A and B are shown apart, each in its own frame.
Chain A
Amino acid sequence: MIVGFTSTGEGWDAKIDPRFGRTEFILIYDEEKDELKAVDNREVSDMAHGVGPKTAQKIHELGVQVLITGNGPGGNAAEVLKNMNVKIYIKAGGMGIREAYGAYKANKLESIGG
């Protein structure tokens, strides 16, 4: 499974960014390869419009199957995510990445949609 996190930093010690569209980084954890990589998403900070859909597109391109985030996507991003095969877990804002991953594995995160 490819697990994605909206994140404020680049490694396991970073925290979940509660924002979806304007998350600073997207962390990708490949469970099979046990490999964590970070994708910089700060390019969207200058965009005024449609940041949610843009970030959703990026998450799609990265092949994320499970997404762990905070507040959850807004209306426009949700529209895009509806067309993607990704399971979304929310309310992990502020948790450390490792802690959030543990909570997901222990089935303690709330899921929405798909």
Chain B
Amino acid sequence: MRLAIASGKGGTGKTTLAVNLALKASGTMKTVLADLDVEEPNGSIFIGGETVDEKQVYRYTPAWNQKSCSLCGKCTSWCAYNALIKLGEIILVMPNLCHSCYACSELCPDGALPMEASPLGTIRHFSRGKLDFTESKLNIGLEQAAPLIKQSLNYLDENFKDHDLQILDSPPGTACSMMEAVRSADYVILVTEPTPFGLHDLKLAVETVRQLELPFAVVINRDGIGNDELDRYLKAEEIAVWARIPHQREIAELYSRGEILFDKVAAVDDALSDILQRLEGLS
């Protein structure tokens, strides 16, 4: 079972839920948690643990070989991202725009665009007790989150295939990186909060997972603040609410110290039990 935890809005509690759910689940089943918020992973603050493995990840972009190029310019018309530009007798490659689709490299009649590796980021595997945890981190200055997420999911397939539960802590938003993280999941939990911002971005996230035809449910965090618009929306759209985590000062204080919640706050433990029970009902 692969479960993605996502949200439209940032800061709704994805990592808090993912970390606590993964640690609790690891008590009864083989669990791996993958932090895929590659631009700013922070799950390791809460998990800690010992490093088991570290892997460098590379991306591939074309490098122009002037000698074999006949300057036909076809590559510039194939590239959907305009990463190749022809200036007279020069083909200019813009690695920042390249999405590593290989089209130009494979199709070039002169074989003048071989793909070259460059560092993209790292995947680290930690263990804490029975929980396996991976953290993927994009190198500073790079913007290609989706390829790193893809390779991180491959890493999960290669190393944790037999785990009962794979939990993905997705990047916020509803752009390419979030879609790459959730699209391979069997189920998605969208974390939101009962505020106008929370509702606005939840609607975008709901639209996204519906487009991807993924089954999903909602977990409401900071329940008790804001207004009832969120509940009215969820009811009208017939979206299941799996759990509500109350707005409590104690939770905020523990979080701010990087501590785990479910072993100290009964309301959180109850919410996690509800979620695990729902997950069990799916399989």
List 15 additional A-B contacts (Cβ < 8 Å) besides A49-B81, A76-B97.
A47-B82, A49-B80, A50-B79, A51-B82, A53-B85, A53-B92, A53-B97, A56-B85, A57-B76, A57-B86, A57-B87, A75-B96, A76-B94, A83-B87, A83-B90
Interface positions of B (Cβ within 8 A of A): 76, 79-83, 85-88, 90, 92, 94, 96-97
A60 touches B87 (CB 8 A): yes
A54 touches B92 (CB 8 A): no
Can you name 16 A-B pairs with beta carbons within 8 Å?
A47-B82, A50-B79, A50-B81, A50-B94, A53-B82, A53-B85, A54-B82, A57-B76, A60-B87, A60-B88, A76-B96, A76-B97, A79-B92, A80-B85, A80-B92, A83-B87
Which positions 40-65 of chain A face chain B at CB distance < 8 Å? 47, 49-51, 53-54, 56-57, 60
Report the Cα distance A84→B85, complex, angstroms. 12
Closest Cβ–Cβ distance, residue B228 to chain A (whole Å)? 37
* Interface core residue of A53, A60, A75, A80 (most chain B CB under 10 Å): A53
Task: Given A76-B96, A76-B97, answer yes or no on A50-B82 (Cβ-Cβ < 8 Å).
Answer: yes
Chain B residue nearest in CB terms to A48? B81
**Residues in A whose Cβ lies below 8 Å from that of B79:** 50
A80 touches B96 (CB 8 A): no
**Residues in B whose Cβ lies below 8 Å from that of A83:** 87, 90, 92
Chain B residue nearest in CB terms to A54? B82
Report the Cα distance A83→B79, complex, angstroms. 20
Report the Cα distance A83→B90, complex, angstroms. 9
B97 touches A50 (CB 8 A): yes
Interface positions of A (Cβ within 8 A of B): 47, 49-51, 53-54, 56-57, 60, 75-76, 79-80, 83-84
* Interface core residue of B76, B83, B90, B92 (most chain A CB under 10 Å): B92
Closest Cβ–Cβ distance, residue B98 to chain A (whole Å)? 9
Q: Which secondary structure dominates where chain A touches chain B? A: helix
Report the Cα distance A83→B86, complex, angstroms. 11
**Residues in B whose Cβ lies below 8 Å from that of A47:** 82
Report the Cα distance A69→B79, complex, angstroms. 27
**Residues in B whose Cβ lies below 8 Å from that of A56:** 85
Report the Cα distance A84→B97, complex, angstroms. 19
B85 touches A54 (CB 8 A): yes
Task: Given A76-B94, A76-B97, A79-B94, answer yes or no on A49-B87 (Cβ-Cβ < 8 Å).
Answer: no
**Residues in B whose Cβ lies below 8 Å from that of A49:** 80-82, 97
**Residues in A whose Cβ lies below 8 Å from that of B82:** 47, 49-51, 53-54
**Residues in A whose Cβ lies below 8 Å from that of B94:** 50, 53, 76, 79-80
Report the Cα distance A73→B137, complex, angstroms. 30
Report the Cα distance A83→B97, complex, angstroms. 17
Closest Cβ–Cβ distance, residue A89 to chain B (whole Å)? 20
Closest Cβ–Cβ distance, residue A68 to chain B (whole Å)? 20
Chain B residue nearest in CB terms to A81? B87
Report the Cα distance A49→B175, complex, angstroms. 14
**Residues in B whose Cβ lies below 8 Å from that of A50:** 79, 81-83, 94, 97
A84 touches B87 (CB 8 A): yes
**Residues in B whose Cβ lies below 8 Å from that of A51:** 82
Report the Cα distance A1→B267, complex, angstroms. 75
